[in-house]
Amino acid sequence: MDKLYIYSHSSINVRFTKNADNFVVEEIPLYEFSGEGEHLVLKLRKKDTTTWDAIKALCDFSGAKMRDFGYAGLKDKDGFTTQYISIHKSFESKLEGFSHDKIKLVEKTYHNNKIKTGHLKGNRFFLRFKKVNPVDGLKLQEVLKNIKAHGIPNYFGYQRFGRDGDNYDTGRAILEGKRKERNKKMKNFFISAYQSHLFNLWLSKRVEISRLFNSFEPKELFELFNYPMEIIKKVKAQENIFKLLPGDRLSHYPYGKIFPCEDLAEESSRFIERDITPTGLLPGKKALKADGLAGNIERDFIKECEPFMDKMNGTRRFAWIFPSHIESKYIEESAWFEFSFFLPKGSYATALVEELLHGKVEL
């Protein structure tokens, strides 16, 4: 799908090659490791190697099984990546002397529990664009200032949808009973791609509504939407570029409980302060749904899956995130633009880069 961008600048053309020189990812753990306990925690640094391939190499060397290792998240193959993995400390001596041309164990400590999926705050990224002219270098810096000040839509990246971008079609076919998938993990993966697709469609619509509210006056908005004028004025009055709507489901940020939006003025102020953020629906039987005006819009995007809603668990996901620790540098003599940023877990660097360039980029 073509996602709608929240910022209005024209597209920026750069050259980006995803490799260890131009793409660096550092995983930030959810908690500090205690330094004691029965689990060995290894800081793993790898180059152009998937997490699975790195763990397999450690298994081949130590005799451990893949299931013996714990990890917070899977990292892509291309690039220079650092992450933490754990294994019972009884394997410590068997890992001594491990050597690999693309994998290095740089630190070790201990903790009293195994690292599990999701045990991370987020990831810190570094990217280098090439063939960037001085005008575009300045433009990139200005857009990053906007992103730093206001945040970005939390779209799912292309990775969720497969090489051909159609994993969600397979997920829908499984739910409709038109396709069988015996592998439980793959079945859940395809279904999650379908949920993610609906989320992205909904989020793009909400971005469109926000852009219209940012651009037009109340009378024009009344003609466009036919919402009650009182609601239009309250939504229009919000300073944040992504507009909250009555009935939205909000969440404390960067983590916390989900609750309904009952006072637009009060909650929009908290949104600006990054204390809360709106959430979008990954449909399913257990997921909380929006109410009121926000609920009406949400239902438009999930009505097709109502017949098989009970086959999905569902949840809610941040619709808007605030990238932090953003730094950038333009190197004129080499026509490079380098920048770094931090994203909370569950977010895609692709979403930030595509918002920055207003074009599709594979990360």
Tokens of 315: 């949840």
Give the helix ranges, DSSP H, for the chain: 51-62, 92-95, 134-150, 167-175, 184-215, 218-225, 229-236, 264-272, 292-302, 349-357
**C-alpha span between 208 and 225 (Å, rounded):** 12
Tokens of 147: 């992103």
* Cα atoms in the 13 Å half-sphere on the side-chain side of 157: 15
Residues 6+ apart with CB under 8 A from 358: 5, 7, 9, 10, 11, 12
**C-alpha span between 236 and 214 (Å, rounded):** 7
Active-site residue (options: 48, 68, 76, 291) = 76
**Which of 75, 65, 68, 88 is CA-nearest to residue 44?**
75
Please count the helices (runs of H) and the strands (runs of E) in the chain.
10, 14
> Peptide bond preceding 228: is omega within 30 degrees of 0, i.e. cis?
no
Radius of gyration of the chain (CA): 22
Looking at the DSSP bridge assignments, the partners of residue 153 are 320
Residue 76 annotated to the active site: yes
Give the helix ranges, DSSP H, for 153-183: 167-175
As annotated, the active-site residues are 76
